[in-house]
Structure 1
């Protein structure tokens, strides 16, 4: 005891019993081993023997410590334990699996100390062995819990990503694609497929799969006994864990599972609410995914699977509402756009063509429109390939007879919607459409197609009535135009053309007329009455009659316009009408003309460019403003001249100035200078305004008799040769000169003019060349004269091929050099040289 009365801790405490040191060693709570430096066991306690099942005699002197270790432990003993012990003289808490006498494995923790003798050499190894069985179990349990937590966290992350993907997927197809790819990262599934419920068609539709080659990958009725249909009907999650389970509950899965080696299949309904609220939950589809081998899903995994089904179902519900709203909007936009587009056209054929072109591919991949108009009907088709013609003809006949649309069923071999086009109680025809497969049975789609048929029928009926009324109007218009134009006089020819405005049903006020005042005086007139309709047409007829009544040989155009002014004072509807009136003396070729508010006539003489006759202009008939002084202008026209009278519809456009219209008309008129008169005005109108003109177009072209003699003077430029050839060709053709003679004359004349330019005017670029040609019953004679200086006439003419070509082409060739150089050439008609 210490001085303070407490126990003396410096002295060893005495226990109430005495421990035997040998017993303490033998029965210690850990194993003790003493081995020689080579590992041979020389001493071992009873605790270690009890743990391992060995006897002392089996170990002491017979076994080394490393011999008691597992294969991996022996390798670790050699590579780590022994080197560390030699370097450090001790090792601590090294894990070894000791193989017991009955081959069990005992997990242990080992501490060893190397004892050395006085000289430092290894003498013995003392080892303490602790039983780590419970610790190993705890560590394994902890590792398992950690892994399970990590898997749960990973699964939650995957599910969060899937939910994000579903939220970002606006359409049903995109939602299905996101759902079908979820089981692989979330649960380690081998493959998955998604089926959606189509309530209107009463089908379970296969939508997407990560491996469509496995399983029954096709659509099925909702009443099918197959596993997917049964799960969709019940709305319950099913896990088929083995082939035995499949045989008992879902026999249709047995063959698929056996063939693919996938022994666990999960059938997950995609619902709009929790599975325990069946009354308010709707099953929109089924997600089927499988695992290779048997796979047990724990409670946490099953909760995640059900959550996936709810999230996917809600996303599908939202996507279907979005798809339907977008589809309705698209259909409404299509109907409105189609109505506007068809309203832009008035003709039946363009409307039919535009309808079909809009339908394909926007709402259908094939369309055909058949209308019962005219003797042969009307057919417009687009897209392809077309259905079987016989099946289509039968469907068209049924729809036409019944007056009801035909919507194909799922087994219908035609696969087309046939819509009768009914307007005013009469079936006009049919519209057949091949729609996308997934939209054929929808009630909303049927309502849309019915609406489309009604609108189409009305638009086409209006077009039919428009064309019918337009034809009546055109017939009336033509009946009011002059039909008794003079003919049979070789001194002139008249060609006319009338083209009604394409978008107006009413008759117009444009008119033309041509008549003989006397046997040698011809009158031509083109006019335009203000307004449209029957009143304008009646006025036009009255004005035309007034012109004929007022025209006489003594008065002339100016006095005739004065008489028309008096006429419109009594006929108010004729006020502000415009007239271009001309008289031609056929014996002298003198033209006298006047214009009352009308566009100027266009004249093209044989030798020259087209020009507008801008003289003798005054205000429209009955005008109370402007120049009412009626004047006239005279001009002599050579034979071969062409005079064009026309109305404003030929040149006026909203998109260009009128001066540009005059310029275009003059150019087109000039380019047709050699064209035959027959068809001349129609071709000119077609080029200037096309077929869809907005205003009426009226033309009258007068051609005077051809010249017996043609005289031209051209500049000494090679570009003039082509113009001369064109002019001369037209003159020869007008005299019915045979082609062989014509070609020979053109070649010889061109060569003679070229020689004159090259030799006569080589130093005078401003020289002029005179060309004169005459035609008789048996020959054509051409004279080419220049006033230049040929330096060596004989040498210049002979050195080239020009003279040779002239002599080969013509029958007679003469040169006269008394005043410049004149080449006279003659060629007989109707015979070869």
Structure 2
């Protein structure tokens, strides 16, 4: 009992520190080591021995603490642990891997204290060793969890980037390219490939791959037993984890997995809905990616994989809608622009050429247009041609059935043949080789049928236009082709008619010249309002009316008044313009009048040209203004020239009409001494060119004969008759006797015929120049060609032509300096 009467606690309780100190040391919850300054173990407790499996005899006095560490721990002991201990006399929580007696390792945390003597010299090192096995396991778990979180975050980040790429990809091809690149950064895949479903062609189409050399990289039917087709059909994610699994479920993958070392293959369907929502989903494609070696995909990774399939499927669906809309817009624009550009050309063959130029290369890499024209076939083609022999059966089918022929699967030619029809008639065919389109075949066929319909109608309209145009031109030529007076030495008439650009209809411009009596010449130029057959017909009626109304004592004024009454009955002739003049060939007096027409241009033998501005009145049938018709007289000295013309010669939208008058007068004056033949054509070429939008008509009257005659004609025997007519009139004008005249005409005709036959036998476009001069005692004619004669010119002597020339002329010479020139002279006296 205690002094206070209570119990004696110190006797009833046994305190821990009253235990045996040796026992506490030996069985402490941690290991104890005592080592000399060099690390030699001099004392160790039982706990450490139990942990490591050593005996006390193996350690004490035989091993150093550093000897119990692995190689890495020994380096760390030397570089960190020992220096710190010497400097600080203690170190705490140093992590070491202790190698146990059975060569296993024990993770530990070490605290050491350096004990020093009175002189501060190191005496011993006392070390406490804690078992860190559970802590290491916990740390490893934390590390693994952190790594998993980082990988998940990285995959999410990669997926976000992929989704952003998919959102920015407007077309199906760009979406496919973004999808095929996703598995490598997202999951560490070695290679990936993407296949898309083509419902219309019933195919699985290989689109893109990061390594197309691996696997079966080609298209396949949707019913194929291959893994990709089966996954596309079922719409389920499949992970093939080994070759054995592939052999059991997807045998077509086995060979590739063995060769490439890819032991894990993921087959991911690209769907428009969630993988768990079977209703309303559609598989648009399959993404196949593989890993080197075997790869186990966790649940989180599989969720990300499925999410990728859904995002990619939605992006593909959106891109297809975009592609379809863009294609429809492009096709609509193409059809509209094609129709517009074809309408710009009025002729059939230029339209055909432009159609082919539009098709190639915009929608096809090769096209052949075949048109039935005049019993023959006209062809226009573009691009490198395939084997056309394979195309003939398809063309025949298209023509017989009047329906397009599209290429079948496996067709070696791969061409579509479109019949071009209009108004129930097949005009020809348009054959095209187009790049295969994975999708939209139905829409593409509708587009091609629409193109064929538009092209057929455009070509038919051009054909009808040409038919009408040719009819109008034939009518117009027949109306303008009446014989103009010639062979009279007192005057000469030169005319020229130039239609507007080749793609426009004929107009109503016309000219005429005729003899009222043996000494009175009438000339006229007019312009009928409108174009086409109606204008040409009206022009002919008006021209015939002038011939019928002209007569002795009538004169220009009374003739125009009669024409006013005539157009009251011919409505299409109303507002036509006419410049009409009569020339007295005995007195040289001109009487003229203009009904709304441009003024004639008069050039005297000397001086500058002047426009005859008198006797002007309104167009025919005009009911406005002064309806009286007047006429004006003008002397025409010998050697004068008078030019009548239509407004197409001088009127331009880009300049005032006064400028046109100025240019015409200047150019007419420059050609004062030029030969009359070709003068009107030269003026038209200079002032108008070939692409003007209006017709041009000119008539030039020259009084008195030409000093010399110069003519150029083509290598065509039909032109010899016209040459003889002009040459005869020129000879008559110079008073050449009949015998001499006939001899010159015969010799000249034979020389021209020889030049055509021998000089231009292979050149139908050759030209022959004929120049005639008259002197006081002889007539000389030169016939020049630039063709190639066979052998020497004298070889022609064996023919009849040269014999006639020698018999007809007094002198015949040949000059081979520049081509071949035959020089013929005939005396003006009797033979």
TM over 0.5: yes
Aligned positions of 1:77-96 closer than 5 A: 77-96=77-96
Residue 542 to residue 150, structure 1, CA distance change in 2 (3 Å): closer
Residue 670 to residue 15, structure 1, CA distance change in 2 (3 Å): farther
Residue 16 to residue 157, structure 1, CA distance change in 2 (3 Å): closer
2: CA distance, partners of 1:93 / 1:5: 50
- In structure 2, the residue matched to 1:362 is 362
Matched-pair contact (CA < 8 Å) for 1:590–1:634: yes
Residue 7 to residue 124, structure 1, CA distance change in 2 (3 Å): farther
Aligned positions of 1:676-691 closer than 5 A: 681=680, 684-685=683-684
1: CA distance, partners of 2:520 / 2:260: 104
Matched-pair contact (CA < 8 Å) for 2:422–2:460: yes
CA-CA distance at 1:664 after TM superposition: 5.2
Aligned positions of 1:508-523 closer than 5 A: 508-523=507-522
Matched-pair contact (CA < 8 Å) for 1:184–1:191: yes
CA-CA distance at 1:297 after TM superposition: 0.8
Residue 186 (structure 2) pairs with residue 191 (structure 1): no
Instruction: Please state whether the residue corresponding to 2:360 is helix, strand or coil.
Output: helix
Instruction: Please state whether the residue corresponding to 2:63 is helix, strand or coil.
Output: coil
Matched-pair contact (CA < 8 Å) for 1:546–1:564: yes
- In structure 2, the residue matched to 1:339 is 339
With 644-653 and 310-319 compared, the bigger mean Cα shift is at: 644-653
CA-CA distance at 1:359 after TM superposition: 2.1
Residue 240 (structure 2) pairs with residue 240 (structure 1): yes
Matched-pair contact (CA < 8 Å) for 1:267–1:288: yes
Residue 460 to residue 570, structure 1, CA distance change in 2 (3 Å): closer
Question: What are the superposed Cα offsets for residues 162-205 of structure 1, whole Å, 9 maximum, x if unpaired?
Answer: 11221222211111111111111111111111000001111111
- In structure 2, the residue matched to 1:427 is 426
Aligned positions of 1:429-444 closer than 5 A: 429-438=428-437, 442-444=441-443
Matched-pair contact (CA < 8 Å) for 2:232–2:285: yes
Matched-pair contact (CA < 8 Å) for 1:439–1:445: no
Instruction: Please state whether the residue corresponding to 2:437 is helix, strand or coil.
Output: helix
Count of matched residue pairs: 722
Residue 571 to residue 433, structure 1, CA distance change in 2 (3 Å): closer
1: CA distance, partners of 2:83 / 2:475: 123
1: CA distance, partners of 2:626 / 2:502: 32
Instruction: Please state whether the residue corresponding to 1:380 is helix, strand or coil.
Output: strand
Instruction: Please state whether the residue corresponding to 1:263 is helix, strand or coil.
Output: strand
1: CA distance, partners of 2:388 / 2:126: 101
Instruction: Please state whether the residue corresponding to 1:328 is helix, strand or coil.
Output: helix
CA-CA distance at 1:540 after TM superposition: 3.8
CA-CA distance at 1:288 after TM superposition: 0.8
CA-CA distance at 1:377 after TM superposition: 3.0
1: CA distance, partners of 2:604 / 2:189: 93
Instruction: Please state whether the residue corresponding to 1:362 is helix, strand or coil.
Output: coil
Residue 33 to residue 428, structure 1, CA distance change in 2 (3 Å): same
- In structure 2, the residue matched to 1:272 is 272
- In structure 1, the residue matched to 2:523 is 524
Matched-pair contact (CA < 8 Å) for 1:466–1:505: no
Aligned positions of 1:740-751 closer than 5 A: none
**Unaligned runs of at least 5 residues, structure 1:** 710-730, 736-772, 781-828
With 74-83 and 271-280 compared, the bigger mean Cα shift is at: 271-280
- In structure 1, the residue matched to 2:455 is 456
1: CA distance, partners of 2:307 / 2:211: 24
Instruction: Please state whether the residue corresponding to 2:391 is helix, strand or coil.
Output: helix
- In structure 2, the residue matched to 1:163 is 163
CA-CA distance at 1:666 after TM superposition: 5.0
Instruction: Please state whether the residue corresponding to 1:413 is helix, strand or coil.
Output: coil
With 8-17 and 337-346 compared, the bigger mean Cα shift is at: 8-17
Question: What are the superposed Cα offsets for residues 515-545 of structure 1, whole Å, 9 maximum, x if unpaired?
Answer: 1234444321111234567776565444434
2: CA distance, partners of 1:248 / 1:449: 47
- In structure 2, the residue matched to 1:746 is none
**Unaligned runs of at least 5 residues, structure 2:** 709-729, 735-772, 781-822, 826-831
With 486-495 and 608-617 compared, the bigger mean Cα shift is at: 608-617
Aligned positions of 1:367-386 closer than 5 A: 367-382=367-382, 384-386=383-385
With 684-693 and 448-457 compared, the bigger mean Cα shift is at: 684-693
Question: What are the superposed Cα offsets for residues 3-25 of structure 1, whole Å, 9 maximum, x if unpaired?
Answer: 99999999998528941100100
With 522-531 and 441-450 compared, the bigger mean Cα shift is at: 522-531
Residue 578 to residue 777, structure 1, CA distance change in 2 (3 Å): farther
CA-CA distance at 1:443 after TM superposition: 1.0
Residue 657 (structure 2) pairs with residue 658 (structure 1): yes
Residue 654 to residue 298, structure 1, CA distance change in 2 (3 Å): same
- In structure 1, the residue matched to 2:128 is 128
CA-CA distance at 1:778 after TM superposition: 7.1
Instruction: Please state whether the residue corresponding to 1:364 is helix, strand or coil.
Output: coil
Residue 103 (structure 2) pairs with residue 103 (structure 1): yes
CA-CA distance at 1:478 after TM superposition: 3.0
Matched-pair contact (CA < 8 Å) for 2:604–2:636: no
- In structure 2, the residue matched to 1:415 is 414
With 655-664 and 509-518 compared, the bigger mean Cα shift is at: 655-664
- In structure 2, the residue matched to 1:251 is 251
Question: What are the superposed Cα offsets for residues 223-271 of structure 1, whole Å, 9 maximum, x if unpaired?
Answer: 2222211211121111122222222222222222222222221111111
Residue 569 to residue 445, structure 1, CA distance change in 2 (3 Å): closer
Matched-pair contact (CA < 8 Å) for 2:489–2:705: no
Residue 54 (structure 2) pairs with residue 54 (structure 1): yes
- In structure 2, the residue matched to 1:27 is 27
Residue 247 to residue 504, structure 1, CA distance change in 2 (3 Å): closer
2: CA distance, partners of 1:708 / 1:31: 143
- In structure 1, the residue matched to 2:479 is 480
Matched-pair contact (CA < 8 Å) for 1:201–1:441: no
CA-CA distance at 1:368 after TM superposition: 2.2
Residue 610 to residue 439, structure 1, CA distance change in 2 (3 Å): farther
Residue 252 to residue 492, structure 1, CA distance change in 2 (3 Å): farther
With 262-271 and 83-92 compared, the bigger mean Cα shift is at: 262-271
How does the TM-score come out when normalised to structure 1? 0.79
Instruction: Please state whether the residue corresponding to 1:437 is helix, strand or coil.
Output: coil
- In structure 1, the residue matched to 2:178 is 178
Residue 534 to residue 308, structure 1, CA distance change in 2 (3 Å): closer
- In structure 1, the residue matched to 2:792 is none
2: CA distance, partners of 1:308 / 1:539: 79
CA-CA distance at 1:90 after TM superposition: 0.5
Matched-pair contact (CA < 8 Å) for 1:618–1:631: no
- In structure 1, the residue matched to 2:810 is none
Matched-pair contact (CA < 8 Å) for 2:98–2:106: yes
CA-CA distance at 1:352 after TM superposition: 2.0
With 318-327 and 490-499 compared, the bigger mean Cα shift is at: 490-499
Instruction: Please state whether the residue corresponding to 2:403 is helix, strand or coil.
Output: coil
2: CA distance, partners of 1:608 / 1:398: 74
Instruction: Please state whether the residue corresponding to 1:207 is helix, strand or coil.
Output: strand
2: CA distance, partners of 1:559 / 1:306: 100
CA-CA distance at 1:108 after TM superposition: 0.6
CA-CA distance at 1:564 after TM superposition: 4.3
Matched-pair contact (CA < 8 Å) for 1:176–1:194: yes
Residue 61 to residue 527, structure 1, CA distance change in 2 (3 Å): same
With 700-709 and 269-278 compared, the bigger mean Cα shift is at: 700-709
Aligned positions of 1:742-781 closer than 5 A: none
2: CA distance, partners of 1:499 / 1:531: 16
Matched-pair contact (CA < 8 Å) for 2:371–2:427: yes
Question: What are the superposed Cα offsets for residues 481-512 of structure 1, whole Å, 9 maximum, x if unpaired?
Answer: 35121123355443334455569998754321
Matched-pair contact (CA < 8 Å) for 1:476–1:507: no
CA-CA distance at 1:651 after TM superposition: 3.5
With 566-575 and 1-10 compared, the bigger mean Cα shift is at: 1-10
Residue 571 (structure 2) pairs with residue 548 (structure 1): no
Residue 146 (structure 2) pairs with residue 146 (structure 1): yes
1: CA distance, partners of 2:5 / 2:153: 63
Question: What are the superposed Cα offsets for residues 347-401 of structure 1, whole Å, 9 maximum, x if unpaired?
Answer: 222322232222223322222221112243332223x212222223343233212
Matched-pair contact (CA < 8 Å) for 1:407–1:440: no
With 223-232 and 369-378 compared, the bigger mean Cα shift is at: 369-378
Residue 594 to residue 80, structure 1, CA distance change in 2 (3 Å): same
Matched-pair contact (CA < 8 Å) for 1:524–1:582: yes
1: CA distance, partners of 2:206 / 2:680: 67
Matched-pair contact (CA < 8 Å) for 1:205–1:220: yes
1: CA distance, partners of 2:188 / 2:522: 100
- In structure 2, the residue matched to 1:262 is 262
With 142-151 and 6-15 compared, the bigger mean Cα shift is at: 6-15
Aligned positions of 1:472-621 closer than 5 A: 472-481=471-480, 483-500=482-499, 508-531=507-530, 540-552=539-551, 556-558=555-557, 560-561=559-560, 564=563, 574-586=573-585, 591-603=590-602, 611-621=610-620
- In structure 1, the residue matched to 2:317 is 317
